[in-house]
């Protein structure tokens, strides 16, 4: 199994866990759990993109936003600022806890999960 295949497998499992939290009856605990799952899932997403760029395109990137921008340039992902917003959302939730921010991020998680599912399909098609 290649590094990319292993990362894709782990990413798919993390995304399933995020979707599981999003499908649960809403409560503060479920919201916080979903946000935590989002944080590690978006981390896995950018690292998967990083590996794909390195292995398929010979491009090295170091940060989440840099990798997503490079993925746009390489036509791996269609240009969409939402990927960059996801990184900002992750940074916002992982460093401080504010009720309003948590609610705002949670409301955007279904769209985030859709984007991440699309990333799975993109990576699978390019293998």
Interval 51-86: pLDDT, tens: 999 999 999 999 999 999 999 999 999 999 999 999
Structure confidence at residue 95 (pLDDT): 75
Which residues neighbour 42 within 8 Å (Cβ) at sequence distance 6 or greater?
64, 86, 87, 89, 90, 112, 116
Structure confidence at residue 97 (pLDDT): 79
Structure confidence at residue 47 (pLDDT): 98
Architecture of domain 13-19+28-122: Up-down Bundle (1.20)
Which among 77, 87, 81, 80 has a CA at the least distance from the CA of 118? 77
Domain regions of the chain by residue span: 13-19+28-122
Contact at 8 Å (CB) between 11 and 40?
no
Which residues neighbour 62 within 8 Å (Cβ) at sequence distance 6 or greater?
none
Q: Going residue by residue through the chain (127 aa), what tens digit of pLDDT does each one get?
A: 999 999 999 999 999 999 999 999 999 999 999 999 999 999 999 999 999 999 999 999 999 999 999 999 999 999 999 999 999 999 988 877 788 889 999 999 999 999 999 999 999 998 7
């Amino acid at each position: 199994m290649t590094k990319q295949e292993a990362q894709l497998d782990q990413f798919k499992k993390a995304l399933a866990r995020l979707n599981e939290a999003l499908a649960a009856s809403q409560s503060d605990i479920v919201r916080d759990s979903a946000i935590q799952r989002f944080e590690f899932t978006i981390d896995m997403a950018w690292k998967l993109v990083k590996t794909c760029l390195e292995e398929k395109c010979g491009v090295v990137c170091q940060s989440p936003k840099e990798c997503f921008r490079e993925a746009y340039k390489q036509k791996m992902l269609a240009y969409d600022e939402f990927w960059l917003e996801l990184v900002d959302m992750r940074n916002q939730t992982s460093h401080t806890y504010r009720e309003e921010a948590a609610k705002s991020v949670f409301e955007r998680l279904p769209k985030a999960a859709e984007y991440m599912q699309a990333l799975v399909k993109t990576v699978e098609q390019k293998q």
